[in-house]
A = this chain, B = another copy of it.
Amino acid sequence: MTKWNISPVNSYSYEPLRIQVYNVLREAIVNGEFMPDEKLTELEIAEHLSVSRTPVREAFRMLEQEELITIIPQQGVFVSGIKSRKEIDDLFRVRVELEGLAAYLAARNINEEQIKQLKKYAEEIEQCIEENDLKGCVRIDIAFHRIIKEASANKWLERFLDNLFMQATRFRMKSLAQEGRMVNALNEHRRLGEAITRGEAELARRYMEEHIQAAWKSILAVFEEEHKDQKGV
């Protein structure tokens, strides 16, 4: 039973099992613990986590709405995977728009506490780059975007960005690993953070749009590289 490395659920938690199972599975999918297109069977997951099928089924229904899995009735549950260039384009086309809006709103709403955090991350990421700490970079990149998302203080925007973010996560590491991408991202973050801090909303939006577009291009490059000898398969 060591097929997967997924955290157990906590029997002493007051949270319903379905929510714990949901969290465990979401993490596992986002972190690539399950392979894309892999079939997840209720019983197997349930036994791994030592719960019955019911909470697993309910967790599946929740994950389905976020496109992390695909449920085909009477057949089963399959892990979603980004498989075509169009899917990447669809994802980033929307992300450019929504992250841009988030930056715009953040520049108008951000409070002192959040500004302080933004500055802290700016310093930390600089250090990560010096040490060539890829994982640290990814962690801070995520935190940076989270602050802006929260500062936008718009429920729908936050929800949608969460969805898109999870989908993009699998690519983030590979993208940042590219030569020069990390340093570019740092610079993009810096001027973006400054624009938000100064409350220049339209400028912040433009910088964010350019930042996401750069990430888009970078991820496409990774994708094309991975698929260059699989054309027409």
In chain A, positions 23-67 with a C-beta closer than 8 Å to chain B are 54, 57-58, 61-62, 64-67
| Most chain B beta-carbon contacts within 10 A, residue among A16, A54, A61, A67 | A61
CA distance A57 to B56 in the complex (A): 13
CA distance A159 to B156 in the complex (A): 13
Contacts of A16 in B (CB 8 A): 73-74
CA distance A16 to B74 in the complex (A): 8
Which of the candidate stretches A92-100, A125-133, A192-200 sits at the interface with the other chain? A92-100
Which partner residue on chain B sits nearest A64 by CB separation?
Answer: B62
In chain A, positions 132-179 with a C-beta closer than 8 Å to chain B are 154-157, 159-160, 163-164
A42 to chain B, nearest CB (A): 12
Interface check A101, CB cutoff 8 A: yes
A10 to chain B, nearest CB (A): 15
Cβ A94 vs Cβ B157 within 8 A: yes
- B15, B61, B64, B97: which contacts A97 (Cβ < 8 A)? B97
With A57-B58, A65-B66 already in contact, the answer to whether A19 and B94 are too (CB < 8 A) is no
Cβ B164 vs Cβ A90 within 8 A: no
Q: Which 3 pairs across A and B sit closest by C-beta, in order of nearness?
A: A65-B65, A61-B61, A94-B156
* Interface positions of A (Cβ within 8 A of B): 15-16, 18-19, 54, 57-58, 61-62, 64-67, 73-74, 87, 90-91, 93-94, 97-98, 101, 105, 154-157, 159-160, 163-164
26 A-B pairs within 8 Å (CB atoms) are namely A15-B73, A16-B73, A16-B74, A18-B61, A19-B73, A54-B54, A58-B58, A61-B61, A61-B62, A62-B64, A65-B66, A67-B159, A87-B155, A90-B155, A90-B156, A90-B157, A91-B156, A93-B154, A93-B156, A94-B98, A94-B101, A94-B156, A94-B160, A97-B97, A97-B101, A160-B160
